Chain A
Amino acid sequence: MVVVVLPSILATEADGRNRFDLDAGTVGEALRALPVADRVLDERGELRPLVNVYLDGVDVRESDGLTTVLAGDETVRLVGAIAGG
């Protein structure tokens, strides 16, 4: 099982849950299984530009993005980019 950890604003959108244990083969599969998938991915299924996804601490954009393969024991952490006011 991969663990997906949400930031607080998305946890609020997910009935207060900030941690999801999921079976997923890729980062994209894991994100699409979330109840807040539409806030993480746009209507094309692309990662929203200011959403950062860290796989065991490594930005998935530095690997294969949404197609990054999961072994099944990782932690996927979603973090909003430092932006806004």
Chain B
Amino acid sequence: MGVVALLGTRKGLFLAESEPTRREWTLSGPFLTGWSVFHAVLDPRDGTIHAATNHEVYGATVHRSGDRGETWERSEGLGLPEESGLTLEKTWHVEPGRPEEPGRLWLGGAPGVLFRSDDHGASWEVVESVLTHETRGRWNPGAGGMCCHSIQLDPGERDRMFIGISAAGVFASEDGGETWTPANSGTAADFLPDPFPELGQCVHKLLLHPARPERLWQQNHCGVYRSDDRGRSWERLEGNGLPSGFGFPLALDHRDPDAAFVVPEVGAENRVTPDGRLGVYRTQDGGSSWQLLTVGLPQRAWAAVMREGFASDGLDPAGVYLGTQSGSLFVSPDAGESWLEPVSQLPPILSVEAAEWS
């Protein structure tokens, strides 16, 4: 058994592999040369790699590989219906379905769209309830477009799932995606006339803790939040150690529902890490306090980490993985205590996922 970090970059996909110690890494790639890989994930059910791929000239699509990147197939029929008046702008995130749902995957994209596949990613069907949501007219694009970037499935309740769209907010479904309810109570939208609207919040990343699925975390344009009631209400968490509530990426520790990691940025108008260093901040008390982690991280850096550029694995202790826009991969094999930089000088890293493979 080994570990692989899937590194989606602006110029292709790279794979970094290691033994479970996660201290020595071997890099392969690039795969999917020429494509911007917004997100790549290893489907734990069958080992297929799925990649949300985009090209300025040749559009948005999804590629998949069943042989660790040696060969790739492109999804068919990915697009929006004519009556919507919309065309697919970007693909952002592929989320494998639950273990008991073989062949099912979810895909988020822009402009604020969700797709479902029931054939292992060969083809995709748009989720009409998101495309035609009654509040769509009140959604607005963020700097990265109106992207559906977060898709979270409750592992215990087959019909419960959550999506995050920037800047529409968090939406919850209790019926497998047939209907969606805004789930933004208590999260701020300081850029709107009403700072606490029903929707319109700029969620940057949304994660559900698999061991306590009623608990959600989000890094928002306007703060870091935790919900303990399936998104019905949110508690703002920054302060008490966090230098800024603004940031994009978010990672969790699968063993500890009270732990989370963020990489704050100075603010919306200066999107670099604060204090001239690359700082990862960790909470181990549900967000009441935050600890700056620095061991092995550059102490002179003005870095940026994209919303998909942060991940954790399922090992014990949890590995945490961070990819920067300046092309470095940082790995912590000990839940953030110390960090290595096993890969550098890649193209800008857009996404990181970590998985076990044999």
Interfacial residues, chain A to chain B (CB-CB below 8 A): 8-10, 12-13, 36, 38-40, 42-44, 48, 50-51, 80-81, 83-84
Contact = CB atoms under 8 A, between A and B. Distances in A.
Contacts of A84: 56-57
Interface of B: 33-35, 55-59, 61, 74, 76, 78-80, 82, 87-88
A82 B7 CA distance: 26
B252 to A, nearest CB: 33
A80 B78 CA distance: 21
A43 B88 contact: yes
Contacts of A80: 57-58
A11 B186 CA distance: 50
7 contacts: A10-B58, A12-B33, A38-B79, A39-B55, A39-B61, A50-B56, A83-B57
Nearest to A39: B58
A72 B59 CA distance: 29
Contacts of A43: 78-80, 82, 87-88
B61 A38 contact: yes
Main secondary structure on B side of the interface with A:
loop
A9 B55 contact: yes
A5 to B, nearest CB: 15
B183 to A, nearest CB: 30
A50 B59 CA distance: 9
A83 B56 contact: yes
Contacts of B82: 43-44
Given A9-B34, A44-B82, A81 B57 contact: yes
Contacts of A9: 33-35, 55, 58
A12 B53 CA distance: 14
A78 to B, nearest CB: 10
A36 to B, nearest CB: 8
A13 B74 contact: yes
A42 B78 CA distance: 10
B178 to A, nearest CB: 24
Given A9-B55, A42-B79, A83-B57, 11 more contacts: A8-B34, A12-B33, A38-B61, A38-B79, A39-B58, A39-B61, A43-B78, A43-B88, A44-B82, A80-B57, A81-B57
